[in-house]
Amino acid sequence: MVPVYNGAPFLRECLDSILAQTWPHCEILLMDDASTDATPEIARAFGDAITYYRQSANRGQFRNVEDGIARATGQYIAVYHADDIYDPDIVASEVEFLETNPDVGLVFSLIRLIDGVGREYGRLDLPRSLRSRGSLGYADVLNGVLTYKNVFLPTPGAMARADLYAKVGGFRTEFGSAADLDMWLRCARLGRIGLVEQHLLRYRHTAGSVAQSYQIARTEPENFFAVVEREIAEYGGEMVTPAARRAFKAHRAVDGLRICVNHYIRGDVTAARITWRGVPVHGLLASGKIRRPRHLLLWSALGVLCRLPHIPRIGSALHWRYYRRLPWWERK
């Protein structure tokens, strides 16, 4: 299933990659969330090769996905993103994993990062402690998320058993962009999480993407933290290791720095100064799972900048560093 909203620039390339899958038994369901661009015309050009459904009004990302899950007829459901490119073997590899591991309810593969024209500029690998594990139980998933955030659960490459979605229920949209992480944690309570250690997905992570727009717009803690805190409080508190708690504390401090940066980019030095004062240095020192020297240096620099009038050139430099930095071939 491919949910899409105004995805015309990359939709054709995405669908071509899915139609090229080596697994022969695929139903391809395109869920158009009332797009206003050329998405309908592109979809119709594929004819009977895909099943196209257009919402009468915009439902939002996760409600659109839920509608697609309800319409899917397969034993396994993969939710793939309309701006990404999928290697020909991703469906076969994920299906094979689920077929040979009946205790696994949900499986992920690794991703390669690409720019706007599809050129690779990086890869995300599994954290060393999670490699060669095959699958993870709930405690491992929860502690992994606290320690490394959700880098090992890339949503655009997820495939789940259809009956698992039926058991776990819908997305909790009160968590905003992190509703998928909340879903994966709830899935982990009901079955093991599989990890295919192959880079089978090319993820379009570029300036101007939805993920980037969310990060620069926010001046509140990342939705990730609300999801994890609720999960710990309601279900997994006794399973959390001391090391994972320290890492989570460090990630929270780093998130405070990012919010401070966002305020400074916007020119709101007062808000940046208030945020900076709330970032605990002991949080930045709590765990080696973050880059402590770099973040301590940023904390010190922001402490100085927040005492001075706003300097637009520094704001622009911070914007480039966090939100516009591109592969060398795209830099102006």
Provide the terminal-to-terminal Cα distance of the chain, rounded to the nearest Å.
37
Per the structure block, which two tokens stand in for 245? 């708690």
- For residue 3, is pLDDT > 60? yes
* CA 259, 261, 264, 269 torsion-angle sign: positive
Q: Which residue has the higher pLDDT, 314 or 208?
A: 314
Average pLDDT over residues 276-284: 95
Structure-block tokens of residue 133: 């594990």
Mean local confidence (pLDDT), 11-16: 97
Number of H helices and number of E strands within the chain?
14, 10
Diameter over CA atoms, the chain: 63
Domains of the chain: 2-206 (3.90.550.10), 241-327 (no CATH)
Residues pairing with 74 in the sheet: none
Q: How many CB atoms lie within 10 A of CB 232?
A: 18
The pLDDT confidence band at residue 206, using thresholds 50, 70 and 90, is: low
Q: Indicate the pLDDT class of residue 323, thresholds 50, 70 and 90.
A: confident
278 within 8 A of 260, measured Cβ to Cβ: no
Angle at alpha carbon of residue 249, lines to 171 and 208, rounded to 5°? 55
- Report the DSSP pairing between strands 76-79 and 158-161: antiparallel
- pLDDT, residue 121, reads 87
When comparing pLDDT for 281 and 218, which is higher?
A: 281
Strands (E), 46-204: 51-54, 76-79, 85-86, 104-114, 120-124, 135-136, 158-161, 192-204
Coil, strand, or helix at residue 288? coil
Residue 328: predicted pLDDT: 42
Name every residue whose Cβ is closer than 8 Å to that of residue 151 and which is 6 or more positions away in sequence. 124, 127
Is residue 298 over pLDDT 80?
A: yes
Query: Which among 230, 225, 227 is positioned nearest to 256, based on CA atoms?
Result: 225
- Three-class secondary structure of residue 247 per DSSP: helix
Q: Is residue 55 within 8 Å of residue 33, measured between CB atoms?
A: yes
pLDDT at 205: 75
Band of residue 2 on the pLDDT scale cut at 50, 70, 90: very high
Backbone angles phi, psi at 172, to 5 degrees: -95, 95
Share of the chain above pLDDT 70, in %: 94
Q: Are 156 and 180 in contact (CB under 8 A)?
A: no
Q: How confident is the model at residue 46 (pLDDT cuts 50, 70, 90)?
A: very high
pLDDT for residue 208: 52
Q: Compute the mean pLDDT over every residue in the chain, rounded to the nearest whole number.
A: 92
The residue count for the chain: 332
Can you read off the two tokens belonging to residue 132? Answer: 């060669």
Q: What letter would DSSP give residue 118? A: S
